[in-house]
């Protein structure tokens, strides 16, 4: 199994949109995929039509309790559509997990130990949608996969959040993890891009920084000079409409041009990822 955590320590950047549609495009490429929503807000759970699971009595907390017989398969839902994938849903009481992970011995390894390892032979990919804050839940998601995709808007607040995520989370975790199995960035994805001059300025700054190598080919400033929509995942009303309908973008409208960008992101992730977690 391979894995990736979609994370940025800032809300409002479309992190869940990236997580859902990356999972769907990985499934479209022939992979068995599990999306794990560990954000207490439950946006990914709602966005794939499983909002009833958000109020279920049995949820991720029970899976993580080693004294509880609940297994991951007891809470998994299947996301319908032309390219099906599975979901471990969030829950309205998921915030309790944060305290328990903080109090537990080696709580940062809990998601790997109780979710990833038992399902290693079942799925090709696991995609975690992490909360937009540094804490026990976000850390456990990153440790579970050791690989991250960072979505961001092309704005100074997002650029600052990228630096905080790398400095205050990824570097800190790597200081505690084995040097032979560190957390790595697979891609930094400009998202919800509109194409104004301020975005161009931020993208140029990214390309002149230590983060340049993590930008996928479709997210380069050269795309401004090429025919087509321009760099990054562009703002499209279909994203909001597909979320409202509770389905991935491809299931709502397979003609939307940004599907090609998500397919390219999935291909990049598969090329860059380590063979197993």
| CATH code (residue 166) | 3.40.50.300
Q: Say if 142 falls within a structural domain.
A: yes
Question: Is it the case that residue 157 has pLDDT exceeding 80?
Answer: yes
Does some domain include residue 277? no
Q: Residue 115 has which token pair?
A: 């979710």
259 falls within a domain: yes
Domain assignment present for residue 132? The answer is yes
Strands 184-190 and 125-129: unpaired
Which residue, 160, 183, 157, is CA-closest to 170? Answer: 183
Q: What is the pLDDT of residue 277?
A: 63
Question: pTM of the full predicted structure?
Answer: 0.96
Contact 277, 148 (CB under 8 A): no
Burial class (CB within 10 angstroms; exposed 0-12, middle 13-18, buried 19+) of 139: buried
Reported confidence tier of residue 72, pLDDT bands at 50, 70, 90: very high
Place 226 in a pLDDT band, splitting at 50, 70 and 90: confident
* Confidence band, pLDDT 50/70/90 cuts, at residue 27: very high
Q: Is 275's pLDDT higher than 70?
A: no
Lowest mean pLDDT among 24-38, 114-128, 159-173, 217-231: 217-231
Domain count along the chain:
1
Residue 76 main-chain phi, psi, to 5 deg: -70, 135
Query: Which helix or strand (DSSP H or E) is residue 126 part of?
Result: strand 125-129
Which band of pLDDT confidence, cut at 50, 70 and 90, is reported for residue 231? Answer: very high
Reading the block at residue 201, the tokens are 């300025």
Tell me how long the chain is. 277
Domain membership flag for residue 13 = yes
Chain centroid to Cα 32, Å, comes to 16
**Domain enclosing residue 149, as ranges:** 2-272
| Residue 66 forms part of a structural domain | yes
Residue 192: its pLDDT value, please? Answer: 97
Q: What is the mean pLDDT of residues 10-19?
A: 97
> For position 276, what pLDDT does the model report?
57
**What does the pLDDT read at residue 44?**
99
Residues paired with residue 148 on neighbouring β-strands, in sequence order: 5, 185
């Amino acid at each position: 199994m391979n894995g990736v955590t979609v994370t940025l320590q800032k809300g409002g950047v479309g992190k869940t949109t990236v997580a859902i549609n990356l999972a769907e495009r990985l499934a479209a490429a022939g992979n068995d995929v599990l999306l794990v929503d560990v954000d207490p807000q439950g946006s990914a759970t709602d966005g794939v039509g499983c909002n009833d699971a958000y109020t279920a009595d049995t949820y991720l907390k029970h899976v993580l309790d080693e004294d509880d017989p609940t297994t991951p398969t007891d809470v998994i839902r299947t996301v319908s559509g032309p390219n099906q994938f599975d979901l471990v849903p969030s829950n309205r009481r998921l915030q309790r997990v944060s305290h328990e992970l903080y109090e537990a011995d080696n709580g940062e390894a809990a998601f790997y130990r109780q979710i990833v390892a038992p399902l290693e032979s079942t799925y090709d990919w696991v995609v975690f949608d992490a909360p937009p804050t540094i804490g026990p839940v976000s850390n456990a998601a990153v440790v579970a996969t050791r690989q991250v995709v960072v979505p961001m808007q092309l704005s100074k607040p997002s650029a600052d959040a990228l630096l905080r995520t790398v400095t205050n989370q990824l570097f800190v975790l790597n200081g505690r993890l084995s040097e032979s199995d560190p957390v790595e960035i697979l891609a930094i994805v400009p998202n919800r891009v509109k194409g104004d001059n301020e975005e161009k300025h931020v993208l140029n700054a990214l390309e002149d920084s230590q983060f340049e190598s993590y930008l996928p080919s479709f997210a380069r400033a050269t795309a401004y000079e090429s025919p087509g929509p321009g760099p990054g995942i562009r703002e499209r009303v279909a994203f909001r409409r597909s979320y409202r309908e509770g389905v991935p973008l491809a299931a709502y409208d397979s003609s939307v041009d940004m599907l090609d960008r998500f397919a390219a992101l999935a291909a990049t992730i598969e090329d860059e990822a380590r063979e197993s977690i």
